Each structure stands twice: as structure tokens, then as C-alpha cells.
Amino acid sequence: MDQYELRTTPKNSTTPDPTAAPAPDPATDADPNTPTSATHLGANPAAERRSTRAGEVDAVLRALATLQRQQSEQTHLLRQLVAEIEQLKATQSQQGSTVTRLDRRLRWARFWRLGWLLLRIAFFGGIVWFLVYLIGLEQIQAMWERLVWLLT
């Protein structure tokens, strides 16, 4: 049994397993495999309450067993994931491609991408500035006014 599983009884307990089928109730004197009639249950309200409580307890125990099974499956999957992560870490350290090294390479790539972007902006901005310097600001304003006059 897994250490995270829900225990319904202690290990060395002599009490019966609660997930097992309930024993027949001697007070009702009915076989659990045969359906009881409504008149019989109506004649004995205490037996009706016990059977209702037993049904509720059975439903709770089934739900607990389902939850316990799901929890053990999830625990098993988590342990598998941890083992895979440890294996990946070992592989990375053997091959030399650790997370810090990859992070460093990514930072350098970002730095150079930004650097080249700024260099291109400076280059084309310099060309535009040089053309404005050669043509002259007054000439550019006059051309703009003529263009606006033509478009209107």
C-alpha cells in the first residue's frame, strides 16, 4: 500500500474491511441478495433506517475508495514525472547544455537582435537626415505645400 493512500483500518486490525460487502442484518432476517418488499420495510422502521444508513455508508466508502485509487494513480504519475525530470537534468549536465547556459545564449541573441535593430534605425535615420540636409528644410516645406495643394 502506498504511503499516501487513505487507510480505513489500521494494519494489524482485526476489524472487517469496510469496503467489503456488508453482512446480513439479523434484525431484518433478510437475505442481502433478495430485494426486500416495501411492506416489510414499512413494518420495521428501524430496519429501514439501518438499510438507508448502510446504503449511505456504502456510497461514502465507494467514493473514498475511488478517491484513494485516483490519488494513488496521481502519485504514481507524479513520481514518474520527477524521475523524468531528474533524468533530463542528468542528461543536460552530461551534454553540457544546462539551463543556465541556454539562458545565457538566449540573452546574447536578444542583445544582438536589439543591437542590429538600433544599428538599422540609425543607418536609415542618418540617410533621411542627410537628404534633408542636402535638399534643405525650406525646399521640403515648399514641396509639401505643393503636394497638399495638388491633392485638395
For 13-61, write each residue's pLDDT tens digit.
555 555 555 555 555 555 555 555 545 555 676 666 777 777 788 889 9
Which spans in the chain are helix H?
Answer: 38-43, 45-95, 99-135, 137-151
120 and 93 fall within a common domain: no
Rg over alpha carbons for the chain, rounded to the nearest Å, is 40
Q: Per the structure, how many domains does the chain have?
A: 2
Q: What is the pLDDT of residues 84-115, one digit of tens each?
A: 999 988 887 777 767 778 889 999 999 999 99
pLDDT at position 53 is: 78
Distance CA 144, CA 45 (A): 101
Do 93 and 110 have their domain in common? no
Domain boundary among 77, 97, 117: 97
Q: Which residue range forms the structural domain that includes residue 14?
A: 1-97
For residue 54, which of 26, 15, 25, 13 has the smallest C-alpha distance?
25
83 and 110 housed in the same domain: no
d(CA 65, CA 70): 9
CA geometry: angle at 64 spanning 58 and 67, to 5°?
145
Same domain, 45 and 68: yes
